[in-house]
Amino acid sequence: MDNPVGIFDSGIGGLTVVKEVIKLLPHENLVYFGDTARVPYGIKSKETIIKFSLENTLFLLQQDVKMIVIACNTSSSLALPIIRRHFKIPIIGVIMPGAKEAVYATKNKKVGVIGTRATINSGAYEEEIKRLDAGIKVFSQACPMFVPIVEEGWINDAITTKVAEKYLSVLKSKGIDTLILGCTHYPLLKNKIQQVMGKAVKLIDSAEQVAIEVKQVLSQEGVLNKERSRPSREYFVSDEVAIFKNVAKSFLGNELKEVKRVSNV
């Protein structure tokens, strides 16, 4: 019961999911792993993404986690179906919760999806949305520059508006009323994206929905943590701790005290 929930991401973006899980399930113990030595995943091949994701899963299993959340859209799109096949504990990704919320939100049945090149090429969101409602039209756009922009801290820069306009103009012309932010970095560009798409378009950030999914799974499995002691939250990265800590604040809203570096992946 008091085993931790394991969450991994290619780097730092998964902290947006951590934040929502802590909010909804404040008593759960957590272990986070960010693969900062091999980040980003979104420009790499399916085979490589699966290999890295399997290694991250094995690392979390060594921490005795009771379930795993793949808090990375690229990894969820390409590796989740394969990883799920191998392991006994429940493993969820971020695609299904995001797709579900978009299907619920859209009124004109035109949904947009933005993400890394690997996520968009996988067609994972489109597939999931169509499975829920075959009548919905899905329009996708890879936005490879958004991640480096967030990591460079150009959240409010005029250049970012230009980049957003370049990527989003086609989606805008399709008349979508709902847009899935299919990468955990993108919520940090929410204001810019909203400004370019217009106020009428609903932006879907799956982190909140993922937290709800975590609660449902733990509850179904009967492994919600009933203890009310102070929960433990451990953070591991594969590259330098200082680099991770510096950026973590903008994702998590507060500073991380202890982060450990591991070299076993």
Cα 256 versus chain centre, distance: 19
User: Quick check: 148 binds its own copies (CB under 8 A)?
Assistant: yes
* 143 is an active site residue: no
User: Quick check: 55 binds its own copies (CB under 8 A)?
Assistant: no
**Measured from the CB of residue 35, what is the shortest distance to its own copies in angstroms?**
10
Residue number, 5 or 150, with CB nearest to its own copies: 150
User: Quick check: 163 binds its own copies (CB under 8 A)?
Assistant: yes
Residues 89-128: x where in contact with its own copies by CB under 8 A, - otherwise, as a string = ----------------------------------------
User: Quick check: 239 binds its own copies (CB under 8 A)?
Assistant: yes
Number of residues that bind its own copies (CB under 8 A): 29
Q: Please identify which residue in 127, 152, 221, 227 interacts with its own copies, judged by CB under 8 A.
A: 152
User: Quick check: 231 binds its own copies (CB under 8 A)?
Assistant: no
* 72 is an active site residue: yes
User: Quick check: 149 binds its own copies (CB under 8 A)?
Assistant: yes
Q: Determine which one of 18, 72, 83, 138 is catalytic.
A: 72
Residues that bind its own copies (CB under 8 A): 36-39, 43-48, 51, 144-145, 148-149, 151-152, 157-159, 162-163, 166, 238-240, 242-243, 263
Catalytic residues: 72, 183
